[in-house]
A and B are shown apart, each in its own frame.
Chain A
């Protein structure tokens, strides 16, 4: 399909580009491999720093113990619940909100739009948010992680502009056939918008899964810890800045390096497995809205 013959310059450029991308890829890949190797290496090898890229003294016990441990599995289940419930509700509410806002002819619609945009630019800040959650009695409730994050205005705008790109004639013909607004939304618009909804659902899911800050603020009950919170506790345990204040008991109870690595691996793998299957939607998602502002 080449339009013109490849010149020497093209070859040089290709080599340079490929080389650069391979280096970039390795830079991001190597730390992941390193942590994985640590999680399946023996402790003596870790203490004496013999693990570089390949596992030394291969063992799978640590990984198995971490995954089957009560604290990890409970945090994992909590994170799965928050992510699935949160994503479902978020995508539903966001899709429904975006629909009327895509109808420019509705009275007062621009005012309502301004109100949404306003929340994108300004918010009450951390303490007022905390007080609000507390007054709503949502502290130590998983809803505190879901409700405040349910509508992202940015995601809503992406869906809205997708709706606006759908041909007006579709709706008109449905209306002629006697469909009401709800039927049009659920039977015609939403099925047609699957690509954008899948992308936004992914944005939400990744957001809920990776959220560390909200659970750190709002969750005190150890039984409701999310995976990210648990991970942070495990990883920070050995932080040297804290080590000075540690008593001999704390030092004796400290978990070995391989447990930390195994926890990191075990909490990364699920989302890692999901990515390859959903990546095509991500790429489409970037295109959405790029044509029509």
Chain B
């Protein structure tokens, strides 16, 4: 056991050393790749058409790629046989570093699209470990250029060159507050729409105890590691980690509204309206409290609705639930966090033996018909089309297209969000939840994460996790009353000194260029 632990600690450090040395020798590797990249173009197109090489792809998550109907369909449509491999679910970045550093000859590599993946990507690009895709897209990327917006490709640039094909994530609201509708009905109350109404409802839940829980009654339960409650933060104008204030992006810790939020939350806690044990709640604990009829309001992602619904209905056949719409503050402020940015990045390492074919393959996958087939299958077989919407045919849709998202290497940005809804419609309850958050809200309530499409920002990427933890810890302490709000300014100073100020400067230097 100890041995394994030591190895784990040693791995990242050793790999980064190795990456440095590998890049020294990569100079020649780079030359080779360029040579081989230019060589086939002198051949007649029919010759290269005839002999399509087998490609080696390293994908992000590892379901069964072999024997998968999507893989078979793609092989037939693109003409490329692809050997899929996958990174482990646990610590994928360590393994990826090892593979890139040892120049494994992958033709396509897909990683996540979050800020740490962006950091890894930019690092590889700067160290010369990736093939510059700009000329290849120009030459072979007809479908790529048609499907991906110029904005998307621009965001993937490192030093003015495109090294990756980004896959944009679906812009949607994921989490909000879920309330026991039957409790409300019992008390003759309406689903709250403002912060004050929410407070009133929670008070009623506490005093009248509609669930009949006695001492175990919990008006609202949240997770201990997420003290920023989705939807409630919207009423304070701090929906995301960084929010625009007077043309600048400001983190929560430097935003005076955060103080108001904390005072509201600690007040709820003091009045017993917030789970008194919330600090030790995990995701599963919150769900337990809700499905056991102990908690009246929880934070929930719509993807979790089916399992919650099953359990709740089993325990309380008459239970009903509903999403609380974006809660408005007294001055009408409201907001729900909308995901935005990259779902994954796909690049071609210098060690690839067929960089041109890799781009041709990615391009062929974005052919409108092939792409649609990959995403939701064939009309009549896998889905039906009605009134501009796609409906899945079950169970074949789940069996043959259930893992389609694992194959994405760039999306048709105009159509995919519509295709994708077929995936949500595979369960009526999922669709209802998604619809409540994404269709039945005022569009101005959707607040995109402004940093989702930000380029790689070194200082921010380095400090983000540590600073986020610091803010969360502080928030929990204030809410439970272990720390007084009077010290908020001191906390802001501490945050700035811990790297918040450098991140702020860096982000706003970039943001100023976007705002223009």
Q: Confirm or deny: A166 has a beta carbon within 8 angstroms of a beta carbon on chain B.
A: no
| A205: interface (CB < 8 Å) | no
Residues in A neighbouring B139, C-beta threshold 8 A: none
A126 touches B288 (CB 8 A): no
Does the CB pair B102–A236 fall under 8 Å?
Answer: no
Task: List A contacts of B303 (CB < 8 A).
Answer: 248, 251-252, 254
Report whether B402 and A43 are in contact in the complex, using a CB–CB cutoff of 8 Å. no
Counting CB contacts under 8 A, is B11 at the interface? Answer: yes
A237 CA / B287 CA spacing, docked (Å): 18
B424 to chain A, nearest CB (A): 8
Contacts of A44 in B (CB 8 A): 291, 307, 310-311, 314-315
CB distance from B417 to the nearest CB of A (A): 11
A248 near B172 (CB under 8 angstroms)? Answer: yes
A70 on interface, CB distance cutoff 8 Å:
yes
Chain A 65-90: CB-based contact to B (< 8 A → 1; otherwise 0): 00000110000000000000000000
- Set of chain B residues within 8 Å of A216, measured between Cβ atoms: 88, 95
| CB neighbors of B among A119-143 (8 A) | 125-127, 130-131, 134, 139
Q: Once the chains bind, are B18 and A220 in contact (CB under 8 Å)?
A: no
Tell whether A223 is near chain B: CB-to-CB under 8 Å: yes
Shortest distance in angstroms between A1's beta carbon and chain B's nearest beta carbon?
41
Return the chain B residue nearest A216 by Cβ.
B88
**Residues in B neighbouring A251, C-beta threshold 8 A:** 174, 301, 303-304
B112 at the A interface (CB under 8 A): yes
The answer, among A125, A221, A243, for a CB contact under 8 Å with B85, is A221
Chain B contacts to A: CB under 8 angstroms: 4, 7, 10-11, 14-15, 17-18, 58, 61-62, 64-67, 84-86, 88-90, 95, 98-99, 102, 104, 112, 114, 117, 169-170, 172, 174, 225, 282-285, 287-288, 291-292, 301-304, 307-308, 310-312, 314-315, 339, 343, 402-403, 405, 420, 423-424, 430
Question: In the complex, how many residue pairs between chain A and chain B have their CB atoms under 8 Å apart?
Answer: 129
Question: A217 to chain B: which residues have CB within 8 Å?
Answer: 95, 98
State in angstroms the CA–CA spacing of A232 and B420 once bound together.
29
Given contacts A47-B308, A70-B67, A220-B58, contact A126 B282 (CB under 8 A): no
CB pair B423–A252 under 8 Å, yes or no, is yes
Top 4 A-B pairs, shortest CB-CB distance:
A49-B288, A251-B303, A48-B291, A249-B405
Residue on A with the closest CB to B288? A49
Given contacts A233-B62, A233-B88, A237-B89, whether A126 and B112 have CB atoms under 8 Å apart is: no
Whether A253 touches B90, Cβ cut-off 8 Å, given contacts A126-B10, A130-B102, A240-B282, is: no
CB distance from A79 to the nearest CB of B (A): 16
Bound-state CA distance A134–B102 (Å) is: 9
Measured between beta carbons, the chain B residues less than 8 angstroms from A245 are 112, 114, 117
Known A47-B311, A48-B311, A125-B14; contact A247-B405, beta-carbon cutoff 8 A: yes
Q: Across the interface, which residues of B come within 8 angstroms of A154, CB to CB?
A: none
Binary contact track A133-157/B, C-beta < 8 Å → 1, others 0: 0100001000000000000000000
B-contact bits for A219-236, CB 8 A (1 contact / 0 none): 011110000010011001
Alpha-carbon distance A257/B64, docked complex (angstroms)? 20
Closest to B11 in A: A126
In the complex, are the beta carbons of A247 and B170 less than 8 A apart?
yes
CB neighbors of B among A9-50 (8 A): 42-45, 47-50
Name the A residues within 8 Å of B292 (CB-CB).
48-50
Given B86, B104, B174, which contacts A222 in the complex, CB threshold below 8 Å? B86
Our pick among A127, A223, A240 for the contact of B14 (Cβ within 8 Å) is A127
Which residues on the A side are within 8 Å of B285 (C-beta)?
49
- Taking the complex as formed, is A213 at the interface, i.e. its CB lies under 8 A from any CB of chain B? yes
For residue B134, give the distance in angstroms from its CB to the closest CB of chain A: 27
Write out the residue numbers on chain B whose beta carbons fall within 8 Å of the beta carbon of A212.
4
In the assembled complex, the CB of A278 is this many whole angstroms from the nearest CB of chain B, namely 22
B398 closest partner in A (C-beta): A253
Q: Does A290 contact B (CB under 8 A)?
A: no
**A48-B311, A242-B89, A248-B303 given as contacts; is B102 within 8 A of A71 (CB)?**
no
Asked whether B311 lies within 8 Å of A250 as measured between CB atoms, the reply is no
**Chain B, Cβ-Cβ closest to A220:** B85
> Bound complex: CA of A71 vs CA of B47, how far in Å?
39
* CA of A111 to CA of B145, assembled, Å: 68
In the complex, A131→B7 CA distance in Å? 16
Task: Point out the residues of chain B lying under 8 angstroms from A239, CB to CB.
Answer: 89-90
Classify chain A: how many residues form its interface, as a range.
35 or more
Among residues of A, the one whose C-beta sits closest to the C-beta of B87 is A220
> Inside 8 A of A221's CB, which chain B residues have their CB?
85
A254 to B302, CA, bound (A): 13
B343 engages A247 (CB within 8 Å): yes
Q: A165 contacts the other chain (Cβ, under 8 Å)?
A: no
Q: Select the residue from B102, B225, B312 with max chain A CB neighbours within 10 A.
A: B102
Residues from chain B with Cβ under 8 Å of A256 in the complex: 307
Do A222 and B85 form a contact, CB below 8 Å, given A130-B102, A251-B301? yes
Which one, A43, A220, A243, A247, contacts B169 given CB within 8 A? Answer: A247
A-B contact pairs, 19 of them (CB 8 A): A43-B311, A44-B307, A44-B314, A47-B284, A47-B307, A48-B291, A48-B312, A50-B292, A71-B64, A126-B11, A131-B102, A221-B85, A232-B88, A233-B90, A240-B283, A247-B343, A248-B303, A249-B420, A251-B301
| A240 B66 Cβ-Cβ under 8 A | no
Give the nearest-CB partner of B65 in chain A.
Answer: A222
Select one of B86, B102, B403 contacting A253, CB under 8 A.
Answer: B403
Inter-subunit contact B311/A253 (CB<8 Å): no
Contacts of A247 in B (CB 8 A): 169-170, 339, 343, 405
Query: When A217-B98, A223-B66 are in contact, do A248 and B174 touch as well, CB less than 8 Å?
Result: yes
Q: Which residues of A contact B58 (CB under 8 A)?
A: 220
Nearest chain B residue, comparing its CB with the CB of A57 = B314
Minimum CB distance partner of B314 in chain A? A44
The CA of A217 and the CA of B283, in the complex, are separated in Å by 31
In the bound complex, do residue A70 and residue B64 qualify as a contact, i.e. CB atoms below 8 Å apart?
A: yes
Name the residue of chain B whose CB is nearest to the CB of A135: B102
Contacts A232-B88, A236-B90 given; indicate if A222 touches B62 (C-beta within 8 A).
Answer: yes
A134 (CB) vs chain B CBs: closest residue: B102
Q: Are B307 and A125 in contact (CB under 8 A)?
A: no
Asked if A222 contacts B84 (CB within 8 A), the reply is yes
Flag if B102 contacts A232 (CB, 8 Å).
Answer: no
Bound-complex Cα distance A257 to B172 (A): 26
From B88, B99, B102, name the one whose CB has the most chain A CB atoms within 10 angstroms: B88
B402–A232 CB distance below 8 A: no
Shortest Cβ distance from A212 into B: residue: B4
Which residues on B sit within 8 Å (CB–CB) of A48? 287-288, 291-292, 311-312, 314-315
Which chain B positions have C-beta within 8 A of A233?
62, 88-90
Q: Which residue of A lies closest to B303 (CB)?
A: A251
A228 to chain B, nearest CB (A): 11
